Amino acid sequence: MNASTKPSRQTAARRASGRRAIFDVAIAGGGLAGAALAVACAKAGLSVALVEPRAPDAGEGKAEGRQAGGPERVIALSRGSRDYLDELGAWAAIEREGVAPIREVHVLEPGLPPRVRMRERDAGVDALGYVAGNESILRALYAAMPDAVTLRSPARVEAVEPGEDAVRLTVRRLGRGGRPSRLSCRLLVAADGTESRVRAMCGIRGRGWDHNRFGIVASVRPRLPHQGVAWECFRPAGPLAFLPLDAARLSIVWTLPPRRAAEVMAMNDADFLRALEWDAGEAMARRLGGLLETGPRAAFPFEFRLAARLTAPRVALIGNAAHTLHPVAGQGLNLGLRDVAVLADALARARAAGRDVGAPIVLEEYSQRRWPDDVAVAAFTEGLNAVFANDLLPLKLARGAGLACMQALPPLKSWLMRRATGLAQAPALAARAGKGA
Ligand SMILES: Cc1cc2nc3c(=O)[nH]c(=O)nc-3n(C[C@H](O)[C@H](O)[C@H](O)COP(=O)(O)OP(=O)(O)OC[C@H]3O[C@@H](n4cnc5c(N)ncnc54)[C@H](O)[C@@H]3O)c2cc1C
């Protein structure tokens, strides 16, 4: 989170105004999903409290062994996510800070010729996706947040008491002499990430596993221009992704087992670049003409979590609190933004009809509309990782045949493209916005 976005929103008046009211919605977690929901709900006229523990200048949470200055983590946004961020009033600011369009995606395995090549013109779109910095998306969302949002930060939700008409929260201000205070809302939204305490306090289990892998994130400058191509190299240890970052640089997510990740994190830049070139394989080295420079690195643990359900009485889960996916297909936030869009739509319609926004019927609608997509994308992502992160000969042959088949069969490739770009979800977003079905 950035110092330039939050303090202006933390006026004493706003905190005081939030002290005794019953909010329509309280959101635990002001990461990307929680901040987007706060904007969407406030724009729909709902009263919103947003509770976020990170101090304005604390940066991102869970990276291990982050180097000084840390890398700017980036997110590949689908077309659907871009349009939704635009609708929230955040896209123009994200674009001003820098967005790299993805013109082509190449999927390959080191040592073999490129298997699948997806191009924007095959999908009939101006870009297959858009790469933007996490922090710039967050800054844009906080800047787009209506003043009516009551922000409690740095603070965290410590206890939850669901009642018949409202949920009572205990919120502790962090820092010296931080005292607990109370807050009531009709609906509590858990947007507090993978290890969601709110999810646990509401008795919802988060099932899944650790991948026993770390993703090393860094920027690199290749000798040859990347021309807007994103590369996904599947290796037995896990995928290695290169995403366009700006005209000259690529952002990498390099999946490695823990011990190797620690070694790579400790390398000097020259050794790091050589090790990366070696792992990416000869074909990549030829296409990029070698790697010249790299920036600071960070390593993120990869895990999979899926909440056993999306709701509890007067509680809804969104974003990583509902599902944490392997980033192989770049779907985590894209899925989270679809949670946000559908929940905000259900709440806005409940409010317009004069209904209680925390009523079971509203939560049931949210769950029914989101659960199939959440489960399908989780299965697709975990399946993709399981099939590719494996060196067994039969699987290797099967996936080689599968990829060759995909390249040769336009309908199959088009299906994959629509999933990857989020176009498959566009009708759902249109329906939510009242423009479609
Ligand atoms: C290396 C990597 C690459 C990725 N690439 C992509 C990509 O290309 N495309 C994509 O769509 N997704 C990608 N993802 C996934 C994406 O980053 C996440 O899905 C997304 O950031 C989750 O946002 P969130 O707001 O749900 O959770 P978080 O970002 O985890 O936010 C949770 C927030 O809750 C707060 N919190 C914690 N406890 C409490 C409490 N008790 N009370 C109140 N607040 C609390 C935290 O401080 C935090 O701000 C990637 C992930 C990784 C690790």
Block means of pLDDT (10 residues each) for the chain, 437 residues, are 40 43 95 98 97 72 51 87 97 96 82 64 75 94 94 95 95 85 97 97 93 94 93 83 93 95 97 94 85 95 95 98 86 94 97 96 97 89 67 54 55 58 48 40
User: Is ligand 1 within 6 A of the CB of residue 338?
Assistant: no
Q: Where are the domains of the chain?
A: 7-61+138-207+307-393, 74-137+210-302
User: Is ligand 1 within 6 A of the CB of residue 193?
Assistant: yes
Q: Which residues are CB-contacts of 377 (< 8 A; sequence separation ≥ 6)? A: 323, 325, 329, 331, 335
Question: Contact at 8 Å (CB) between 3 and 56?
Answer: yes
pLDDT (0 to 100) of residue 281: 85
Ligand 1, atom nearest to 32 Cα: 25
Ligand 1, atom nearest to 319 Cα: 26
Let me know if domain 74-137+210-302 sits in CATH 3.40.50.620: no
pLDDT (0 to 100) of residue 380: 79
Ligand 1, atom nearest to 321 Cα: 26
Q: Do domains 7-61+138-207+307-393 and 74-137+210-302 have the same CATH topology?
A: no
Strand pairing partners for 125? none
pLDDT (0 to 100) of residue 74: 93
Nearest CA to ligand 1 atom 51: 327
Question: Contact at 8 Å (CB) between 271 and 101?
Answer: no
User: Is ligand 1 within 6 A of the CB of residue 422?
Assistant: no
Q: String of b and e for 142-170 (b: at least 16 CB within 10 Å)? A: bbbbeeebbbbbbbbbeebebeeebbbbe
User: How far does the centroid of ligand 1 lie from the alpha carbon of residue 217, in Å?
Assistant: 15
7-61+138-207+307-393: CATH topology: FAD/NAD(P)-binding domain (3.50.50)
